[in-house]
Amino acid sequence: MLSRRRMIASGAATLAGAALSKQLAVAQNAPPPASGPAVGGFTPVVTPDGSTAPFKLVDGVKVFHLVAGPCKREFAPGLVVDCWGWNGRTPGPTIEVVEGDRVRIYVTNNLPEGTTIHWHGVLLPCGMDGVAGLTQKPIPPGETWKYEFDVRQHGTLMYHSHFDEMTQIAMGMMGFLIAHPKAATGPRIDRDYALFLSEWHIPAGTSKPNPLTMNEFNVLTMNSKAFPGTTPIVARTGERVRIRLANLGPMDHHPIHLHGYQFEVTGTEAGPIPPSARHRTTTVLVPVGTTRDIEFVADAPGDWALHCHMTHHMMNQMGHDFPNMTGVDARGLDKQVKPLLPGYMTMGTKGMGHMHQMDQPRNTIAMVGGDGPFSKIDMGGMFTILKVRDEIKGDGSDEKGWFGHPPGTVAGPAGEGELEGLKQLGL
Ligand SMILES: [Cu+2]
């Protein structure tokens, strides 16, 4: 006799047939859609370097299919990581729904161990909460289960595994569930972006995140991309931009700082913050287990940094157990050690600003350094760029170009006369 679980599994298999697989494949390979005019009352969310989950409307229910399994993710050119995720990616595809929807989400488990999905911050029947042991058994490998609930709220929510969490979250099993309000609740949003903040321990020369780590996180990502692998976000001058930030750790909170702007924190995983409770700031702390929405009008054109302000979170594969070699000439030492330890690097004899020039072990990225319009950008990790332009083409080229600074607005060397003048000023 077929067990109930098996029957659900076969039902899902029919539903998840060729058409759905094809749709999923298309969604994964398509370039990120340009955010544009509001559709059906809201502006669709763009998950840079990510995807949006496709759905089918079946008898008024929005039906989704998530397939948990191992996947490879290139965090940045030169670093391919063996992760776990859904539908071939981490973070999982962004699930976008509207308050009032009924949703049914089939979850197929292709992992080597059990799994569940917890809908983080979602108000739902207890039995749909996805906590292994407490509200359900883990979904065994090879089976497809389903979750179904009404969306009774709006805001930036999350989903993540809730079985062997330490391993499964450390391997990448997290994603956005974004619920739009039924009717507009504030000013029209022109660009709506979602960035999932994560940290990983991937020792140099390896490809598997180490789930046992508590403190040694050395790769920090936005949507599982580390700078210079992060795709910039763009906006046209004058547009109202929302950026949704989410953090499931494992261990660290991230103060996310935007250059060139003041913004308001307008929402959390519990929905909008009342306007009377908002204040302007330039950095928002995103603690583990929460989301924060920020909003601003993009009225200052330029290439603006957006990053975690923990300085170690702006580095890639930084080793933390090295002596402080700043000021030491280690060239002779490196020559002697390298034949014995091929991956050996002496850290930062002249400071760390030149680390992008060093030799790297295989499958390892430089601690800092992406190509910039002036020189190498001395950043890595949880760092991306907000590109605000008077004209946006929307063909994928906006993310690539650099800002054309008006004459006289770029820092540069002081002239001879100025140096003399400076002396006379006594400064
Ligand atoms: Cu951080």
Radius of gyration of the CA atoms of the chain, in A: 23
What is the pTM for the complete model shown?
A: 0.83
**What is the CA(329)–ligand 1 centre distance, in A?**
31
Place of tokens 């950008």: 377
**What is the CA(198)–ligand 1 centre distance, in A?**
8
Whole-angstrom Cα distance, residue 289 to residue 163?
16
**What is the CA(268)–ligand 1 centre distance, in A?**
18
| 246, part of any domain | no
**What is the CA(109)–ligand 1 centre distance, in A?**
31
Question: What domain range includes position 90?
Answer: 31-187
**What is the CA(223)–ligand 1 centre distance, in A?**
13
In this structure, the chain runs to a length of: 427
Output 312 or 158, whichever has higher pLDDT: 158
| 142, part of any domain | yes
- The closest of 203, 139, 192 to 33, measured between CA atoms, is 192
Structure tokens at 201: 């321990």
Q: For residue 324, what pLDDT band results from cuts at 50, 70 and 90?
A: low
Residue 65 · residue 12 · CB < 8 Å: yes
At residue 51, the pLDDT reads 97
**What is the CA(91)–ligand 1 centre distance, in A?**
17
Q: For residue 4, what pLDDT band results from cuts at 50, 70 and 90?
A: very low
Residue 53 · residue 66 · CB < 8 Å: yes
Q: Rounded to a whole number, what is the distance in angstroms from the first to the last CA of the chain?
A: 89
| 173, part of any domain | yes
- Residue 151: give its domain's CATH number: 2.60.40.420
At residue 328, the pLDDT reads 67
| 414, part of any domain | no
Whole-angstrom Cα distance, residue 369 to residue 122?
39
| 72, part of any domain | yes
Whether omega before 44 lies within 30 degrees of 0, making that bond cis, reads: no
- DSSP element (H, E) containing 371: strand 370-371
| 143, part of any domain | yes
**What is the CA(382)–ligand 1 centre distance, in A?**
7
Residue 20 · residue 67 · CB < 8 Å: no
Domain count, the chain: 1
**β-strand pairing of 290-297 with 240-247:** antiparallel
Answer whether residue 345 shows pLDDT above 90.
no
Which of 131-140, 253-262, 278-287, 317-326 has the weakest average pLDDT?
317-326
| 243, part of any domain | no
> Of all residues in the chain, what percent carry a pLDDT higher than 90?
69
**What is the CA(164)–ligand 1 centre distance, in A?**
24
Q: Residues 145-161: what's their mean pLDDT?
A: 98
Residue partners of 106: CB distance under 8 A and separation at least 6: 12, 15, 16, 63, 64, 65, 66, 144, 145, 146
Output 314 or 341, whichever has higher pLDDT: 314
* Amino acid sitting at position 199: E
Answer whether residue 46 shows pLDDT above 50.
yes
| 37, part of any domain | yes
pLDDT in tens, 346-374: 655 566 555 555 556 788 888 777 889 99
pLDDT in tens, 263-296: 999 999 999 999 999 999 999 999 999 999 999 9
289: left (phi over 0), alpha (psi -120 to 50) or beta: left
At residue 369, the pLDDT reads 75
pLDDT in tens, 221-247: 999 999 999 999 999 999 999 999 999
At residue 350, the pLDDT reads 62
Whole-angstrom Cα distance, residue 362 to residue 272?
45
At residue 343, the pLDDT reads 54
Whole-angstrom Cα distance, residue 229 to residue 381?
9
**What is the CA(309)–ligand 1 centre distance, in A?**
6
